[in-house]
Amino acid sequence: MNSLFDSLPTWAIGLGLFLACCLASELGGLRRRRLPSPGETIYATSAAVSLLALMIGFTFSVALNRYEARRELVVEEAAALTSLWERVQFQPAAERAAMSAIVRDYTDQRLRYFQQGTPTDRRRAADHAANALQERLWTTARQLSAGPNPPLVTRMLVEGLTRVDDASWRRESIGREHIPLLVIDLLALFAIVTAASLGYTGAAHRLVSRRTNIAFFLLVASSIFLVLDLDRPRTGVVLVSQQPMLELQARLAAIAL
């Protein structure tokens, strides 16, 4: 089931969970009606609903925090690249032209890396193309430090490169962080068990109508859908905006013309 949750789109997971809850509720009610003298289960059902709400709230908080972290890191990397670009303009003419072109290529590559790929990045490889461009920038910086370039200008360049390295590493790292698959499995299991418990309890006392149960299952499935959607920054309804990087790309392209 773990690999299935990672490979399916979030809407399919939400729909499947909704249908599974409806089926579990019907089976629970059928089982209750076949028992000659069923015991009282309303308190256990209330506890199950409360536990499910707690689980959804916890996972939503985790997913929202990671969404915010990813959004902030897009801004941070764009700011780091802007700072590097400005510091490159203080270098000698030959190195300035070469490094400016590399920074433009690096920005394009970072956009491609974070706009493509699988919905989840749990085991995604590092951005090797961007790393190669970074190494070219560092090689030029080392050559400048060994030449007549003013130490202050070289130090500014090195600080800019270090900031870009740090931003890229942290952004790739948080991109691989997702809600643990075991938590998703348990969340789905809790939802189905709770649905069965609601059907089982309601069948004897007729405390809850079938329409009310269906509405509740729809809310549960929608909540879990939203949690999973937040956890996938590049697909679904709630996306991590790449606007800062897109604006930087447009600005660098305009300067090159």
Q: Which residues of the chain have pLDDT under 70?
A: 1-3, 35-41, 117-119, 203-208, 256-257
CA distance 221 to 158: 50
Instruction: Please give the pLDDT value at position 4.
Output: 74
In angstroms, the Cα distances linking 111 to 13, 100, 128, 197 are: 28, 17, 14, 47
Instruction: Please give the pLDDT value at position 119.
Output: 67
Cβ-count burial of 228 within 10 angstroms (0-12 exposed, 13-18 middle, 19+ buried)? buried
Instruction: Please give the pLDDT value at position 100.
Output: 92
Instruction: Please give the pLDDT value at position 1.
Output: 52
Instruction: Please give the pLDDT value at position 118.
Output: 67
CA distance 103 to 78: 11
Name the amino acid, one letter, at 137.
L
Instruction: Please give the pLDDT value at position 238.
Output: 85
CA distance 133 to 150: 24
| CB-side neighbour CA atoms (13 Å) of 231 | 26
Give the pair of three-digit tokens for residue 25: 């509720």
Instruction: Please give the pLDDT value at position 30.
Output: 82
Tens digit of pLDDT for each residue in 58-99? 999 999 999 999 999 999 999 999 999 999 998 888 888 999
pTM (two decimals): 0.83
CA distance 144 to 183: 51
Give the pair of three-digit tokens for residue 196: 């069965």
